[in-house]
Structure 1
Amino acid sequence: MTPIERNFLDNPDKNRSGVSWAAIFAGAAGAAALSLILLILGVGLGFSAVSPWSNSGASAAAIGTSTIIWLAFTQIAASGVGGYLAGRLRVKWASMHTDEVYFRDTAHGFLAWAIASLITAGLLGSAIGSVISGGVSAGATVASTAVGAAGAAGVAGAAGVAGALPGGSDGSTAYIVDSMVRTNPASPDASSSAASTGTTSGAGAPANPAASDNAMKMEITRIFINGVRAKGLPPEDRQYLAQVIAKRTGLSPADADRRVADAYSRTQTAINNAELSAKQAADAARKTAAYTALWMFVALLCGAFVASLSATFGGKQRDHVVHHSTVTA
């Protein structure tokens, strides 16, 4: 017998692979399955605690705290079970040094946690991706909101300019435009002034007053949008609007000009408030995404530690098992 063959027979564990992949995959499968079950349970408990009614159900702070606690518990419990299985089911190394056995058990638990984490990430990839993309898009939302609010699309989204159009929804700008063209019932010339804004068609027949009124409101809305884009209402547009309002309502030119200035100021204030609200919402989403990512990192780190520690405990249990055999005569 050669020295190599004699060394192999005397120390079989030193010539065997230090990784028991069957035990690792078994522990990873157990950890991934338990993680999935606990996550589903957490989602169910979370939905049962949330209520759409005011002053009912758990608060947002309570939901956030409980989510963090449950995520940490899920990682610790699942990783502990998976690491213990990986350590307990691995091949016994009878002739290995204690330090080497301890290192291999720790590695088995860590590998089981790593594979289980990859499996869980694959199953829940869409949820994790939404958290990360939410943090990335939050910063871009802040800049795009400020730029978009200066244009027509931004004004329409932030201040509800679409509501000012005929048949549109009831937005803040629609109310401002309606209040600007509102006639004064106390004015004796209000009815005649309002009627004179309509055009005639055919043989002197008056045009549809509602269509003429809607067309005028649309024109005022477009002028306001252009003023918001230009960071100020041009003098010629302001003078034109004052003439239209004076003719429509019977007000004096000075009163009409003051009404136009007040309406534009309220429109600009509404847009600024909407832009500020959008920035605050984007900043809140950014903070939520950042905190979620950080706590997920902490929970996963705890899972890796618990899996490695549980694997060493399972390995010791495996090595200390004494098998009794019954000999029959």
Structure 2
Amino acid sequence: MSLYNTGVSDVGVESSAPALAWGPVIGGAIAASGVTIILLLLGSGLGLTMVSPWGGEGASFTAVSVTAAIWFVVVQWLSSALGGYLSGRLRTKWAGVHSDEDFFRDTAHGFLSWALATVVIAGLAGSAFTSLLGGGVQALASTASTAAVAGAAATNADGGTATGPTAYFTDALLRPQDLRAKAQASDAAATAEVSRILVNAAAKGSLSDEDRTYLNALVASRAGLTPEQAKARVDEVLKAVDDAKLAAQQKADAARKSAATTAILGSLSLLVGAFIASVAGALGGRQRDEEALRG
């Protein structure tokens, strides 16, 4: 015996009953949102037990990240199934509606319940969601600004104090060979000039031969080194600058890839959640009709 009506009554006559019942949709969405929040809090508590401030203890960052991603997917699917099922099960059965149309309406109610719950959760966690999507853009911006941030070093350079990312490298270049023989007064002009050379080299991506020759002579004169010692120190510090720049680029690229992967997997998970909610809505409607027939 069919669980849905198999015929269509009053062909050509529009029914006064609306095809969409917002009550079950809203109820299912609220239930799904509540379950999502509860399970996310539970997952957060369990996740905190996996980490430890002590080195060598607790799970690794990769393990925690993978576990959190899996837990988020499971939570999203479970809440979608619950919301969709309730929206289909609680809807009042229409009389005189074909079985195919009844099935479609139950499926649509499950989907709408999922969509409303998704909007609610996205609104509650709007800042975190925006931060996640902006991770890739921020990573690219940090890569582009790696060479430019050194400009802060030249901002106060005329005042004799180098600040910013190049400050350490500038100090390393001008560090005397014998600390006990360090002059009491610093050469502000030399410090500012070295800082500007580093800024220019970072912006261009390389140090010109003319700048390298001049920098070697400047360091030798300022730090009291032989030309060979000054050249070795300059090469060492420039290599450290390149290594720092490469490390920043690699970190930014890893963040970009992570953000892209998270966004793609998140969208796929949401699509699966929409499918689960639709199927659950149809299942809830079917069980509703079964109970009606038994009664």
> TM-score normalised by the shorter chain: which range applies?
0.7 to 0.9
Change (3 A) 1:240 1:129: closer
Residue 43 (structure 1) aligns with: 44
Residue 171 (structure 2) aligns with: 174
RMSD: 3.0
For the pair shown, the structure with the greater C-alpha radius of gyration is 1
Residue 262 (structure 2) aligns with: 292
Secondary structure of 1:51's aligned partner: coil
Q: Is 1:222 matched with 2:219?
A: no
Q: What per-residue deviation string (whole Å, max 9, x for no partner) do you get for residues 237-263 of structure 1?
A: 6445434444xxxxxxxx622222222
Q: What per-residue deviation string (whole Å, max 9, x for no partner) do you get for residues 28-64 of structure 1?
A: 1101111111112222222221223222111222122
Q: Is 1:29 matched with 2:30?
A: yes
Q: Is 1:259 matched with 2:235?
A: no
Q: 1:177: how far off? A: 2.8
Q: What per-residue deviation string (whole Å, max 9, x for no partner) do you get for residues 94-136 of structure 1?
A: 3211101000000000000000000000001011011011111
Gaps of at least 5 residues in structure 2 are 1-8, 156-161, 202-206
Distance, in Å, in 2 between the alignment partners of 1:303 and 1:46 is: 23
Secondary structure of 1:148's aligned partner: coil
Amino acid paired to 2:139: A
1:201-216 superposed matches below 5 A: 210=184, 212=185, 215-216=186-187
Gaps of at least 5 residues in structure 1 are 1-6, 162-170, 185-190, 196-208, 247-254
Q: TM-score, normalised by structure 1?
A: 0.74
Residue 114 (structure 1) aligns with: 115
1:240-251 superposed matches below 5 A: 240-246=218-224
1:185-200 superposed matches below 5 A: 194=181
Q: What per-residue deviation string (whole Å, max 9, x for no partner) do you get for residues 203-228 of structure 1?
A: xxxxxx53x2xx13x54432322222
In percent, how many aligned pairs have the same letter? 37
User: Is the Cα–Cα contact under 8 Å of residues 152 and 225 in structure 1 kept in the other structure?
Assistant: yes
Q: Is 1:313 matched with 2:283?
A: yes
Residue 129 (structure 1) aligns with: 130
Distance, in Å, in 2 between the alignment partners of 1:23 and 1:13 is: 23
Q: 1:153: how far off? A: 6.2
Distance, in Å, in 2 between the alignment partners of 1:95 and 1:153 is: 80
1:37-116 superposed matches below 5 A: 37-116=38-117
User: Is the Cα–Cα contact under 8 Å of residues 149 and 271 in structure 1 kept in the other structure?
Assistant: no
Q: What per-residue deviation string (whole Å, max 9, x for no partner) do you get for residues 298-317 of structure 1?
A: 22111111111111111111
Distance, in Å, in 1 between the alignment partners of 2:25 and 2:94 is: 16
Change (3 A) 1:244 1:301: closer
Q: TM-score, normalised by structure 2?
A: 0.82
Change (3 A) 1:130 1:136: same
Residue 239 (structure 2) aligns with: 269
Distance, in Å, in 2 between the alignment partners of 1:153 and 1:39 is: 47
Distance, in Å, in 2 between the alignment partners of 1:104 and 1:121 is: 25
Q: What per-residue deviation string (whole Å, max 9, x for no partner) do you get for residues 145-167 of structure 1?
A: 134357736995445x1xxxxxx
User: Is the Cα–Cα contact under 8 Å of residues 27 and 83 in structure 1 kept in the other structure?
Assistant: yes
